Amino acid sequence: MTRIDAKFADLKAKGKKAFVSYVMAGDPDFDKSLEIVRGLPGAGVDIIELGLPFTDPMADGPTIQLAGQRTLDGGMTLKRTLELVTEFRKGDDTTPIVLMGYYNPIYSMGVPTFLTAAKEAGIDGLIIVDLPPEEDTELCLPAQEAGLNFIRLATPTTDDKRLKRVAQNTSGFVYYVSITGITGTAEADASDVSPAVARIREATGLPVIVGFGVNTPEKSRTIAAVADGVVVGSAIVSQIADGKSTAEVLAFVKALADGAHSA
């Protein structure tokens, strides 16, 4: 059982929904990023999604693209991202961390080298946006053999036939992208999300976490009410981009987490 599996089992036992926060590793710099990440569990975050900076982030909107560019300009790399996780784990051995990004940096490091380093650092799962199920032998299957969850995305355009393929080697949870398009560009609607979540649960047997288009405590609550939890990314990254203090960022995160946990 991974930390992700244990977290969902604990939340289910408590009758609570999950709140997942996304931040870009190294944003706005390594030290402040580490400070923010260390504060996320205390702000009510159940699972941390840590963005891996990449030069061509096809699924990300302007907010997250700019965050990635800031960190790349500051010298952030895959190796430094894993170093950040290693530092976090010195004080927290229970909060799950999912690395979210694109395959190129992992391919460049080499899959066996990456998986060894990720496990040693304390990564629990991977969301690799540009690796479809047809490429499972590249990273998905080796990652699962190494003890990491490999988490898939489902979208409003994922039909039943495709969903079966998506579910085949997925573990941990399914990330439901509630809107078509890129991050941070539209709002999720609970009436649209609810039937999609039910369909994905039935097909996979896994928790379904909804992301894209969740940006307020009220929206966090309404979407969590029809899913197993919510992810907030762009709204948090915007706070960091605006130069808010760590305390201000974490207060914003806590309001979002409280919304999800009240569902």
The residues carrying an active-site annotation are 49, 60
Kindly state the tokens that stand for 236.
């948090």
Report the number of secondary-structure helices (H) and strands (E) in the chain.
12, 9
Distances (CA, A) of 238 to 26, 37, 70, 102, 144: 14, 15, 13, 21, 33
Classify 12 as helix, strand or coil. helix
Query: How far is residue 236 CA from its own chain's centroid?
Result: 13
Backbone angles phi, psi at 225, to 5 degrees: -65, -25
**CA distances to 75, 81, 148 from 97, in Å:** 22, 12, 10
* Token code pair at residue 74: 């500051």
Entry field: residues in the chain? 263
Amino acid at 211: G
Both tokens assigned to 203: 């097909």
Beta strands 152-154 and 47-51 are unpaired
- Per DSSP, 119 falls in state H
Edge-to-edge order in the sheet of strand 97-101: 149-150, 125-128, 97-101, 47-51, 18-24, 229-232, 208-211, 174-177, 152-154
